[in-house]
Chain A
Amino acid sequence: MIIRMNSRYFTTIIIIAVLGVLGAPGLRAQETLEVSHQTKLGIPPTPITISGFSGEVASVLKFDLTVMGFISVPAGSANYELSGNNAGNVTGQLDLVGDASQSRAGGAINTSGPRSVLFSRSYQGGSLRAQAHRLADDVVLKITGVNGIAEVNGQISKIAFKAENNTGGEIYVADFDGHNPMPATQDHSIVAAPCWVPGHFALYYTSYKLGPPCVFYQDLRTGTRRNFANYPGLIGSAAVSPDGRKVAMILGKGGSVNLYVGDADGGDVKQLTFTTEDNSSPCWSPDGQWICFASKVNERRALSKVPAEGGAMERIPTGGVSNPSEPDWSPDGKMIAFTSQYLGGFNICVVPAEGGIATPLVSGEDPSWSPNSRTLVYVRRGSGGNRTLSLLDVPTKQVKDVPRVSGSSNSQPSWAR
């Protein structure tokens, strides 16, 4: 078989091997940054055929692969073939047929040429959903060299969000695809802006349970929580630093609305901005050096950043779109996703982290990056005014709604990192 292998096929294998090495955990970030994927926008999805699976497993595979840049096509029309079954446990095999180099770039599908097995494996333990998510991530890692979004640290990736109905709002936690929603609060009061503690099953969020807005810290494993910061005026938009040691937030206590940063236990709070304008929605650069937030510069709304240790505020240009807010810095450091607004309409946009020309992607608000910096969870407004969470594969702009918590409007998603 090796002898009959043509040179094109061999090239493909080498590319996969390179990506496999660079995507492997444990390598230093420097190496990954040199060669790993640049986020390219506007690329077509990669065709794949999916066969042999049924029911929930089939729908999970199709959903996951769609929001990770693939499109499910009829048999014989793709270079990648995922086959298997879910009798008892999930078993899957990924085959490469012919030369996929054109199809991944959106060109013609050439399925002539040898067939090879990229992997073949079975899964055990957990739910069938969890097994299907793992298989989807394995497919994505094998083909793209980049980790998928379905799992983080061996667990199904989680989102937190706000669910509102007539009796008030509650914070919910669910799988990233909206399944297994579980209420984290039952306070029937205004809640807002949940934010994960990186690497922990814990949240900060704004609550009006005590009357004025407060930020609560809640350990989701034990259900215990505490009032994180107790000041007069607005306390909101808590954002935890990548190392978990600092929390940025918006406070009104000084008589104006400004950005502050404090220790994770609420102590040693420093004021970082000194404006009399609006400031909102802080987020951290992945190296922990900067805090980006929505601000106003010369009466116009803008994204700005300030050193987390304190220092001069710098504008992050977002050319081509107006009224940016709700920034979220991608975990790989390259992009900032945000919401632009023109009259009453909101768009999800991305801009290089250093600023530049912004790219509007879809209609929606409040984006939050997946841990692999490829997919966004955001809010889509339905025709009835109810809001639904959706997943957006940024490079291909493919979108899938996630199920809404029954009878409610869902918003302010935060993807666990």
Chain B
Amino acid sequence: MKNMKSKTLFNLIALSAALAISAIGCRHTPQKTSTIYGTAHPVNPNAMPIDNSQPMPNPNGNGIITTPAGGGPLPAGGFAGWAANSDILADQTIHFDYDKSAIKAHEQPKLDAVADYLKNHAGIAVRVEGNCDERGTEEYNRSLGERRALAARERLVQAGVDPSRLDIITYGKDKPVDPGHDESAFAKNRRDDFVVLTPPGQ
């Protein structure tokens, strides 16, 4: 510490001297040339296939503690290649209060209808799509939309649906149904949509 201080003092004196000297001699003459190195980087937006050969990280690897949640952990695998139909269950869309992911009591019959549809149609799956109004920041809403989708999933599992037949996705505030900026638009946009997924070849 002492050494550091004396070093600093030495530097200070040396620099003051250098500065004083330079102040005498160089009034209007550029004394230093500063070279700028190349600044253009290529940013290549083309030809970028997604490399999916990366081994998938072990979901049960070190340090994982599974949070007990109503719906349980999400099954791996996904529904890539399944056909999506958002019309069949369009009437069952449920809505949420501002900044909440709790299912409102009067929405339960719609969830029962979704569960019944799954029970009556073997082989299909349902994707719950969570959405938010534009209030709230983007990534906050992405998390909130996930919680809304998880909340509906939890109810469907409680109603007896096999968790492996349920997919979820959050769109945050990226997919409003009403682009307006008033409460009537917000109320429509705070929602879970239910999309029927059919396996390839059916």
Bound-complex Cα distance A344 to B180 (A): 13
Interface centre among B63, B139, B147 (most CB of A within 10 A): B139
- Given contact pairs A155-B37, A234-B170, A253-B73, A310 touches B140 in the complex (Cβ within 8 A): no
| Main SS at interface, chain A | mixed
Q: A291 at interface (Cβ–Cβ under 8 A)? A: no
Bound-complex Cα distance A31 to B150 (A): 50
Bound-complex Cα distance A231 to B77 (A): 8
Q: B105 at interface (Cβ–Cβ under 8 A)? A: no
Q: B78 at interface (Cβ–Cβ under 8 A)? A: yes
A122 touching B146, Cβ below 8 Å: no
A223 touching B44, Cβ below 8 Å: yes
B74 touching A385, Cβ below 8 Å: no
Q: Please give, as numbers and ranges, the residues of chain A lying within 8 Å of B57 by CB-CB distance.
A: 229-231, 262, 266-269
B75 touching A93, Cβ below 8 Å: no
B48 touching A134, Cβ below 8 Å: no
- Given contact pairs A126-B37, A411-B138, A119 touches B76 in the complex (Cβ within 8 A): no
State which residues 34-64 of B face A: CB under 8 Å: 34-48, 50-52, 54, 56-59, 61-64
Residue of A nearest to B43 (CB): A182
State which residues 54-103 of B face A: CB under 8 Å: 54, 56-59, 61-67, 69-80
Which residue of A20, A93, A116 contacts B28 across the interface (Cβ within 8 Å)?
Answer: A93
Q: B162 at interface (Cβ–Cβ under 8 A)? A: no
Q: A75 at interface (Cβ–Cβ under 8 A)? A: no
Could you tell me the distance in whole angstroms from the C-beta of A44 to the nearest C-beta in chain B? 27
Q: A173 at interface (Cβ–Cβ under 8 A)? A: yes
Q: B191 at interface (Cβ–Cβ under 8 A)? A: no
B19 touching A255, Cβ below 8 Å: no
Residue of B nearest to A222 (CB): B44
State which residues 164-200 of B face A: CB under 8 Å: 167-172, 174, 181
Q: A221 at interface (Cβ–Cβ under 8 A)? A: yes
- Given contact pairs A31-B4, A190-B174, A270-B63, A232 touches B19 in the complex (Cβ within 8 A): no
The contact string, 1 if C-beta is below 8 Å from chain B, for chain A 223-238, is: 1111111111110110
A121 touching B69, Cβ below 8 Å: no
B38 touching A123, Cβ below 8 Å: no
- Given contact pairs A120-B29, A257-B147, A223 touches B45 in the complex (Cβ within 8 A): yes
Bound-complex Cα distance A241 to B126 (A): 37
- Given contact pairs A121-B33, A125-B35, A274-B67, A253 touches B74 in the complex (Cβ within 8 A): yes
Q: Please give, as numbers and ranges, the residues of chain B lying within 8 Å of A269 by CB-CB distance.
A: 57, 59, 61, 63-64
Q: Please give, as numbers and ranges, the residues of chain A lying within 8 Å of B16 by CB-CB distance.
A: 13-14, 17
Q: How large is the interface on B (under 10, 10 to 19, 20 to 34, 35 or more residues)?
A: 35 or more
A278 touching B144, Cβ below 8 Å: yes
B80 touching A276, Cβ below 8 Å: no
- Given contact pairs A2-B24, A274-B67, A119 touches B35 in the complex (Cβ within 8 A): no
Could you tell me the distance in whole angstroms from the C-beta of B147 to the nearest C-beta in chain A? 6
Q: Please give, as numbers and ranges, the residues of chain B lying within 8 Å of A325 by CB-CB distance.
A: 136-137, 139-140
Q: Which of A206-214, A349-357, A390-398, A400-408 contacts B (4 or more CB under 8 A)?
A: A206-214
Bound-complex Cα distance A228 to B51 (A): 9
Which residue of B62, B135, B143 contacts A234 across the interface (Cβ within 8 Å)?
Answer: B143
Which residue of B61, B62, B137 contacts A339 across the interface (Cβ within 8 Å)?
Answer: B137
B36 touching A125, Cβ below 8 Å: yes
Residue of B nearest to A323 (CB): B136
Q: Please give, as numbers and ranges, the residues of chain A lying within 8 Å of B146 by CB-CB distance.
A: 233-234, 252, 257
Could you tell me the distance in whole angstroms from the C-beta of A247 to the nearest C-beta in chain B? 11
- Given contact pairs A186-B46, A221-B41, A270 touches B62 in the complex (Cβ within 8 A): yes
The contact string, 1 if C-beta is below 8 Å from chain A, for chain B 131-162, is: 00011111110111011001000100000000
Bound-complex Cα distance A325 to B167 (A): 28
Could you tell me the distance in whole angstroms from the C-beta of B174 to the nearest C-beta in chain A? 5
A346 touching B137, Cβ below 8 Å: yes
B67 touching A256, Cβ below 8 Å: yes
Q: Please give, as numbers and ranges, the residues of chain B lying within 8 Å of A411 by CB-CB distance.
A: 138
Q: B201 at interface (Cβ–Cβ under 8 A)? A: no
Could you tell me the distance in whole angstroms from the C-beta of B173 to the nearest C-beta in chain A? 11
Residue of A nearest to B186 (CB): A344
The contact string, 1 if C-beta is below 8 Å from chain A, for chain B 1-44, is: 00010001001100110011011101111111111111111111
5 contacts between A and B (CB under 8 A): A182-B45, A224-B48, A231-B76, A255-B73, A279-B143
| Chain A residues packing against B (C-beta within 8 Å) | 1-2, 13-14, 16-18, 20-22, 31, 91, 93, 116-117, 119-127, 130-131, 134, 138, 154-156, 169-170, 173, 180, 182-186, 190, 192-193, 201, 206, 209-213, 216, 218, 220-234, 236-237, 250, 252-258, 262, 266-271, 274-281, 294, 301, 310, 325-326, 339, 341, 343-344, 346, 365-366, 385, 411-412
Top 5 A-B residue pairs of the complex, sorted by shortest distance between their CB atoms: A223-B44, A126-B36, A255-B69, A270-B63, A232-B74
20 further contact pairs, Cβ within 8 A, besides A1-B23, A223-B45, A226-B52: A13-B19, A21-B8, A21-B12, A116-B23, A119-B32, A124-B33, A155-B37, A156-B39, A231-B59, A232-B77, A232-B168, A252-B168, A255-B72, A256-B150, A268-B61, A271-B63, A271-B65, A275-B67, A280-B137, A344-B135
